[in-house]
């Protein structure tokens, strides 16, 4: 049986979401739009706004599941400290998420810089989430 600290999962979800809002907002939002092939006017259409709402909802749900899975994996690994959680979160996201994005991007012809930008966000976000969950295990 795996014991999960759901408060840690929720706090990790909030931190992951805040990192994403900063990453794709003031830090790299304009760069991301350019690399993804969007203009600011594209983002203001009713279709884009509807798509963004769906995207936010899907992101919150999928990120919650990811944080829950991270908590279970850290528990299985016996990690119960912030540093171990940070390292495990970063390594797991690099190995599984970032490398999956690289392979997928190669098939879809996405710019390497876009993949790098998306991958670094996830590595950073999962490292912070791992730190939070590891500290509270």
Asked if the model's pLDDT at residue 118 lies above 70, the reply is: yes
- Is residue 70 in some structural domain? yes
- Is residue 90 in some structural domain? yes
- For residues 97 and 126, what is the distance between their CA atoms, to the nearest angstrom? 10
Q: Are 19 and 67 in contact (CB under 8 A)?
A: no
Nearest Cα to 19, choosing from 59, 79, 78, 73? Answer: 59
Percent of the chain with pLDDT over 70: 99
The predicted model gives 26-40 an average pLDDT of 92
Q: Are 137 and 8 in contact (CB under 8 A)?
A: yes
- Is residue 1 in some structural domain? no
- For residues 98 and 115, what is the distance between their CA atoms, to the nearest angstrom? 8
Mean residue pLDDT across the chain: 93
Give the angle subtended at the CA of 22 by the CAs of 28 and 104, to the nearest 5°: 60
| pTM attached to this predicted model | 0.92
Q: What pLDDT shows up at residue 40?
A: 82
- For residues 69 and 9, what is the distance between their CA atoms, to the nearest angstrom? 9
Domain that holds residue 28: 6-136
Q: What pLDDT shows up at residue 58?
A: 96
Q: What pLDDT shows up at residue 1?
A: 65
Q: How many CA atoms lie within 13 A of 112 on its CB side?
A: 0
Under DSSP, the state recorded for 24 is I
- Is residue 45 in some structural domain? yes
The pLDDT tens digits for 55-102 are 999 999 999 999 999 999 999 999 999 999 999 999 999 999 999 999
- Is residue 65 in some structural domain? yes
Q: Which residues contact 129 (CB under 8 A, 6 or more apart)?
A: 12, 13, 15, 16, 67, 70, 89
Please state the domain count of the chain.
1
């Amino acid at each position: 049986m795996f014991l999960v600290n759901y408060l840690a999962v929720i706090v990790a979800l909030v931190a992951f979401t805040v990192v994403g809002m900063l990453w794709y907002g003031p830090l790299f939002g304009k760069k991301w739009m350019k690399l993804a092939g969007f203009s600011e006017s594209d983002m203001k259409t009713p279709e884009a706004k509807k798509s963004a709402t769906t995207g936010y909802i899907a992101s919150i749900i999928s990120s919650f599941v990811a944080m829950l899975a991270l908590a279970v994996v850290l528990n299985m690994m016996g990690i119960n400290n912030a540093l171990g959680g940070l390292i495990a979160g970063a390594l797991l996201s690099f190995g599984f998420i970032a490398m999956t994005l690289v392979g997928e991007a190669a098939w879809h012809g996405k710019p390497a810089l876009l993949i790098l930008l998306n991958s670094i966000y996830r590595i950073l976000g999962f490292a912070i989430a791992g730190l939070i969950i590891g500290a509270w295990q």
